Chains A and B, each alone.
Chain A
Amino acid sequence: MAKPRTTVEPYVWLMFSGGGVIAALTFPVLLFLLGVAIPLGWVSPPDHGHLLAVLSHPLTRLGLVVMCAMALVHAAHRLRFTLQDGLQLHKYHALLATVAYGGALAGAIAAGYVMFVVL
């Protein structure tokens, strides 16, 4: 029997799945409130002071960074395979993977920067 190869793929799938769960549980309500209901005036916008207080809590910041980072890895993994299989770009799999995960990493760093440096 051939020696099993060690790859990072299981860990990427694990993060894909974790990010998928986080996005599934948290994004619909946040997107509905912040992107649809509040802009349309169905729900009155929260006070600036209230949001600032929520964002000032370290747990909120940590939660948001984890949420953004995991969701981006999830999205990158999915998008990579969608482009590769959907548009038959197997030839460019290395480039696609680099751009997708690189983009997710850049986004995760940006999230960390916003939450822990700017705010």
Chain B
Amino acid sequence: MTDFLARLYKPKVPLLWWLSKPSYTAFVLRELSSLFVAWFVAYLLLLALAVGAGEAEYRRFLDLSANPFLIALNVVSFAFVLYHAVTFINLTPQAMVVRLRGRRVPGPLLTASIYVAWLVVSAFLAWLVVG
């Protein structure tokens, strides 16, 4: 019976509920970072295509990427992707229990080690791109 009544109960939520509190807005903005993640996948694939198509196409891609609108879009995307990265890493201790020799790794230590890994991965990728 309770189940049945619970299914009938449909609370009305306003469309812009996420603007009512800063923490809700921050949450929805973090969720929107997914759009910019998808955009960067497309950008990366276009770059790979241009590189594969030869030097002239690669130059054309570089010119295109210097377009102010594209730079603006990429600056905004970078801010969102960074926001995603920081919030994702900071949440890890709450989402995952890591045990080492039977003892739980304390949250701050886990977070710190992921930041170190982030640094190492970033340095490696920067080396790979710029050479």
Contact = CB atoms under 8 A, between A and B. Distances in A.
Interface residues of B, number: 52
Tell me the dominant secondary structure on chain A's binding face: helix
A95 interface: no
Interface in A7-33: 17, 20-21, 23-33
A50 B128 CA distance: 9
Interface string A88-119: 10000000000000000001001100110011
| Interface footprint category on A | 35 or more
B110 interface: no
A39 B65 contact: yes
Nearest to B70: A39
B62 interface: yes
A46 interface: yes
Contacts of A35: 40, 43, 65, 70-71, 74-75, 77-78
A118 B52 contact: yes
A82 B18 CA distance: 11
Interface of A: 17, 20-21, 23-36, 38-40, 43, 45-48, 50-52, 54-55, 60, 64, 68, 71-72, 74-79, 81-82, 86-88, 107, 110-111, 114-115, 118-119
